[in-house]
Amino acid sequence: MLKTMLNAWKVPDLRKKILFTLFVVIVFRIGSVIPVPFLNMEALQSLMGGLEDGSLFSYLNTISGDSFSRATMFAMSITPYINASIIMQLMTVVIPALERMTKEGEEGRKKMSAITRYLTVILGLLQGTAFYFWLKNNTSNNGTRITMYNQGFEGVFSAIVIILTFTAGTALIMWLGEQINQKGVGNGISIILFAGIVSRMPTLISTLWGYLELAMRYPNGNISGLTLYTLQNWTFYIFVPLFIVLFLIVMWAIVFMNDAERRIPIQYAKRVVGRKMYGGQNSHIPVKVSGSGVMPIIFASSILSLPGTIRMLLGSNSPGWLNSISEALSPRGWVYPTVYFLLIIAFAYFYLTIQYNPIEMANNLRQSNGTIPGIRPGKPTAEYIQKVLSKITLIGSLFLGVIAIIPFLYSDFTGMHQTTFLGGTSIIILVGVTLETVKQMESQLMMRHYKGFLD
């Protein structure tokens, strides 16, 4: 990977693209620290310090690289775009007009992209409005209001400015991502998402070092009140290196599974047209084991975060049954990882139905005179493809589930709860974006007939 990046740096065109991508990332990070006007930052920090683990707010804060907890210009990050893309994928299955649009080639993709942009701005406006009213209706620990103006013309004006600033930040992030697609390297939205997650790495390093400092500060006693269990101080000398080892093992497993695939063999029949013979070749249909990516994890975490998020929005008016559900689904327990694991498997199969249509695949094979060896064309082929997809999805979903719950199991066992923000979603995104960017560099090097990057 490093050799590929060094070889890409030697090519002037690629070097310009890499520098442009880095410039956009710097612009994104600058916007992530610019505060929104008319907010009391001290009161905001006091309020955000009490964000509950497992709520939608903690998830947004992880994705945005702490921009959400600071209520900056890019507080909404790219979550409106992700949600818009997911909605468009689901609507494509439901609405025939959108499905036809996806099959119209380049023009259809442009139309789908335009609809996704408009939907992103609408969702950014709705999300920014909800965030503003949550800030307006909450106070800091000492009772100070977050918003400076809440009544009269000043209150209306400040509300409009705050909401439009959040919405403009969402639109600007989307535009920056598109600029990376056109003039930079890698997928723009993925690069920005990668930058937001990586920006929290110093916080993780500081947290791990803080645990070691506590262990050194109390050499002769227990560190109580810090963990679920009363642990001897020397155990932190084991748990911190163990966290680093687990992190590296998980990264290796994700890299291995990212390239794993099941190849369905295809044999094309021979046919003679005039004096030429066509077909008679052997090929395959590649089915990736982790083809659904992080989508099942995102869906599952979003569903599980709803009770905690609604509870935070209602505050003291939250009903008792909602409080019970929220406490039961707290990440610091056995219920959350169990439900999380099962939901990931369920959403992996749900996403399978969106990605693959065995009947359509079987019909396409029959029209191109292709068959699976030992399987009759038509319905038996569709059933065979469905059976293979189900098995592959089970393996991939079990892998995703294990990767997703490892941080929660580790934090419950060790009590190092502040490390859970680097969960399965974050690690898979980091590894996936890195591999995707490196592969794009390799393909561009190959297009330029660069020699030696595969040596």
Indicate the pLDDT class of residue 453, thresholds 50, 70 and 90. very low
Place of tokens 């040596």: 455
The yes-or-no verdict on residue 150 having pLDDT over 60 is: yes
Residue 4 lies in a domain: yes
| For range 27-52, the mean pLDDT | 81
Query: What's the whole-number average pLDDT of the chain?
Result: 79
Contact 197, 77 (CB under 8 A): no
Question: Per mean pLDDT, which range of 53-57, 238-242, 354-358, 431-435 is the poorest?
Answer: 53-57
Percentage of the chain modeled with pLDDT above 70: 82
DSSP state string for 118-186:
HHHHHHHHHHHHHHHHHHHT-B-TTS-BSBS--SHHHHHHHHHHHHHHHHHHHHHHHHHHHHHHHHSSS
| For range 423-446, the mean pLDDT | 78
Residue 93 lies in a domain: yes
Nearest to 226 by CA among 67, 24, 414, 90: 414
The yes-or-no verdict on residue 451 having pLDDT over 80 is: no
Residue 345 lies in a domain: no
The yes-or-no verdict on residue 72 having pLDDT over 70 is: yes
**What is the model's pTM?**
0.76
The yes-or-no verdict on residue 171 having pLDDT over 90 is: yes
* β-bridge pairing 231-232 and 222-223: antiparallel
Torsion of CA 440, 173, 68, 157, to 10 degrees: 180
Q: Domain holding 192: CATH number?
A: 1.10.3370.10
| For range 300-329, the mean pLDDT | 74
Given this model, what pLDDT does residue 228 score?
Answer: 36
Question: Per mean pLDDT, which range of 211-220, 284-293, 301-310, 392-401 is the poorest?
Answer: 211-220
The tokens of 394 are what? 């089970």
The yes-or-no verdict on residue 237 having pLDDT over 80 is: no
The yes-or-no verdict on residue 26 having pLDDT over 70 is: yes
Domain count for the chain, please give it. Answer: 1
Question: Residues of 399-438 as b/e, b for ≥16 C-beta within 10 angstroms?
Answer: bbbebbbbbbebbbebbbbbbbbbbbbbbbbbbbbbebbb
Contact 253, 403 (CB under 8 A): yes
Residue 409 lies in a domain: no
| For range 381-395, the mean pLDDT | 89
Higher pLDDT among residues 438 and 53, named by residue: 438
Give residue-wise pLDDT tens across range 255-277.
888 778 888 888 877 666 666 66
Beta bridge partners of 283: 266
Residue 158 lies in a domain: yes
Contact 192, 173 (CB under 8 A): yes
State the Cα–Cα distance between residues 215 and 433, nearest whole angstrom: 36
State the Cα–Cα distance between residues 122 and 294, nearest whole angstrom: 24
Residue 192 lies in a domain: yes
> Which residue type sits at 92?
T
> What 3-state class would DSSP assign to 333?
coil
Sign of torsion over alpha carbons 71, 77, 83, 88: positive
Given this model, what pLDDT does residue 125 score?
Answer: 92
Range of the domain at 51: 1-200
DSSP state of 434: H
State the Cα–Cα distance between residues 77 and 65, nearest whole angstrom: 9
Nearest to 433 by CA among 205, 290, 296, 258: 258
DSSP state string for 224-270:
-SSSSS-EEGGGHHHHHHHHHHHHHHHHHHHHHHHH-EEEEEEEEPP
Given this model, what pLDDT does residue 297 score?
Answer: 79
DSSP state string for 385-416:
HHHHHHHHHHHHHHHHHHHHHHHHHHHHHH--
Place of tokens 């001897």: 232
Place of tokens 């996403």: 351
> Which residue type sits at 366?
R
The yes-or-no verdict on residue 225 having pLDDT over 50 is: no
Given this model, what pLDDT does residue 55 score?
Answer: 57
Residue 137 lies in a domain: yes
Residue 106 lies in a domain: yes
DSSP state of 370: E
